[in-house]
Chains A and B, each alone.
Chain A
Amino acid sequence: AQTVTQSQPEMSVQEAETVTLSCTYDTSESDYYLFWYKQPPSRQMILVIRQEAYKQQNATENRFSVNFQKAAKSFSLKISDSQLGDAAMYFCAYRSKQGGSEKLVFGKGTKLTVNP
């Protein structure tokens, strides 16, 4: 079974600075999806960024980018120019591409605080 590990329960960053959230995962599959979801106090999970494992190029969405290291099974999220609205729980998630396994497996999350 796939597992996702987020080793940083909490992180903090100054407004306008850059922060990196770590994620590692374990799988025997060669192709899969990886995601970062944001969960504000409203509880709704919001997709931040996604990566397909076969794509070597790291995904980027505005101020959010990932560092995908497939061999190391590492998938970190970098938030540039941090804003107060970025404060939330961030979850790393894995999704298999195999038919019948279309569920997201989540890590335990990292609580991000943005200081003004």
Chain B
Amino acid sequence: EAGVVQSPRYKIIEKKQPVAFWCNPISGHNTLYWYRQNLGQGPELLIRYENEEAVDDSQLPKDRFSAERLKGVDSTLKIQPAELGDSAVYLCASSLRGPGHEKLFFGSGTQLSVL
């Protein structure tokens, strides 16, 4: 079974440029998460999807960040314009929903460097 796939693995951009990250969750997983992990910190949730609906986006900086999950499968996270403080690792995770499905499966993340 394929795991959570993220691309690109690394991205270097100049500040004020746009950037996008892509995530393909495990087949059949209806819950998808985007986390941001700053250097030396634990991951923090940006947004959670149940199928195609964003059900928790309280930590997403909506002035510059946007996300979508078309057809409840793949997801894209976008930053426009990027700022120096956005440099971090962006992790995608997926899971099934309901009792007994508390385990999250993570991708390898995208490491973003904003210069």
Contact = CB atoms under 8 A, between A and B. Distances in A.
B56 interface: yes
Contact of B44 (A45, A47, A106, A109): A106
Contact of B111 (A43, A103, A107, A108): A43
A91 to B, nearest CB: 5
Given A103-B45, A106-B44, A44 B102 contact: no
Contacts of B108: 42-44
B33 to A, nearest CB: 7
Interface residues of B, number: 25
B85 interface: no
Contacts, number: 53
A103 B33 contact: yes
A102 B31 contact: yes
Given A45-B91, A106-B44, A107-B42, A50 B103 contact: yes
B41 A109 contact: yes
A109 B42 contact: yes
B103 A47 contact: yes
B56 A100 contact: yes
B109 A50 contact: no
A103 B109 contact: no
Contact of A44 (B33, B42, B103, B106): B106
A45 B109 CA distance: 9
A95 interface: yes
10 contacts: A42-B108, A44-B107, A44-B108, A50-B102, A102-B31, A103-B45, A104-B33, A106-B42, A108-B40, A108-B42
